[in-house]
Amino acid sequence: MLRIAVPNKGSLSETAVEMLVEAGYTGRRDPRALTVADPRNGVEFFYLRPRDIATYVGSGALDVGITGRDLLLDSSSEAREIQTLDFGDSTFRFAAVPGTVHELGDLEGRRVATSYPTLVGEFLARHGITARLVKLDGAVESAIRLGVADAVADVVSTGSTLRAQGLEIVGPVILESTAVLISARPEVDGIATLQRRLQGVLVARQYVLMDYDLPRALLAQAQAVTPGLESPTVSPLADPDWVAVRAMVPKDDTNHVMDALYDIGARAILVSPIHAARI
């Protein structure tokens, strides 16, 4: 059976489980369960700490896993990213008390607190900066106030948490992270199927099906608006001067596309969700 590592908690866990269920796999009914077998699909899930997943997958103990790109790079494991999953986005930045650090070079010889010492250390080394890294498991924003660091390196979304601690963002972006599928042996049987299923979930979330009726003479104009993935499906109607058209459309563009089609002359424009897909 294909052995799959899944985050058991944290920001990645809920969405990862939802994706796997949408992809047709068995979900975890008991939140305390550490393993779930899914013999129908030939897989077994192992629910692990997100930070440990790259280590297990990289060692070959598990075949494939879902984790953050940041955690993968910080682990220094043999696993590698094989697919992005489009959730759990985060940005890593440096922060310090205003006026104490103006640019990356000002971190030379300073203490930098972080939960990602390997990731941050490699970034500083690439830029020729030598700093003393202070490893913390969380709440690194307090490190400067408590006197154990001169700067911090951590996940930043709006920056409100840093500002609440009297800090400002400084220097370049360290990493743009996201949830990824990882493996040390991507050729293992079953991984390709898992990837296709997960990609199908991503497509289903990003697209809708749009159906509309249109005068045949306007088909070329409408196809420019809804080209589909390969091409739209065009079917004849009882009235030989009209056709029915179906195409996949990006979900975020739905109303703009509907407006454009109506202006061309399309009517009976309908939109339907996609529950699953294989592209």
Which stretch of DSSP H or E encloses residue 15? helix 13-22
Asked whether residue 42 carries a pLDDT value surpassing 90, the answer given is yes
Per-residue tokens: 87: 């959730």
Rounded to whole angstroms, how far apart are CA atoms 168 and 120?
A: 18
Task: State what percent of residues in the chain have pLDDT above 90.
Answer: 87
pLDDT in tens, 138-172: 789 899 999 999 999 998 877 778 888 899 999 99
What residues does 92 pair with on adjacent strands?
A: 155, 175
Query: What average pLDDT score do residues 246-272 get?
Result: 97
Rounded to whole angstroms, how far apart are CA atoms 142 and 161?
A: 10
Query: What average pLDDT score do residues 179-191 get?
Result: 96
pLDDT on residue 240: 96
pLDDT on residue 163: 85
Confirm if 269 and 262 have CB atoms less than 8 A apart: yes
Which stretch of DSSP H or E encloses residue 270? strand 267-273
User: Three-state SS for 163?
Assistant: helix
pLDDT in tens, 23-38: 999 988 888 899 999 9
Query: What average pLDDT score do residues 196-212 get?
Result: 96
Task: State what percent of residues in the chain have pLDDT above 70.
Answer: 99
Q: What pTM value is reported for the model?
A: 0.87
pLDDT on residue 34: 94
pLDDT on residue 160: 79
120-134, 155-169, 174-188, 241-255: the lowest-pLDDT one: 155-169
Confirm if 184 and 60 have CB atoms less than 8 A apart: yes
Confirm if 116 and 136 have CB atoms less than 8 A apart: no
67-71, 115-119, 161-165, 173-177: the lowest-pLDDT one: 161-165
With a CB cutoff of 8 Å and minimum separation 6, the contacts of 210 are 226, 246, 247, 248, 249, 254, 257, 258, 261, 269, 270, 271, 272
18-22, 109-113, 156-160, 203-207: the lowest-pLDDT one: 156-160
Count of CB atoms situated within 10 Å of the CB of 118: 14
Query: What average pLDDT score do residues 60-67 get?
Result: 98
Query: What average pLDDT score do residues 203-211 get?
Result: 95
pLDDT on residue 30: 87
Query: How does the average pLDDT of the chain come out, rounded?
Result: 94
Query: What average pLDDT score do residues 123-149 get?
Result: 93
Asked whether residue 115 carries a pLDDT value surpassing 90, the answer given is yes
Confirm if 125 and 188 have CB atoms less than 8 A apart: no
pLDDT on residue 29: 86
pLDDT on residue 147: 93
pLDDT on residue 125: 96
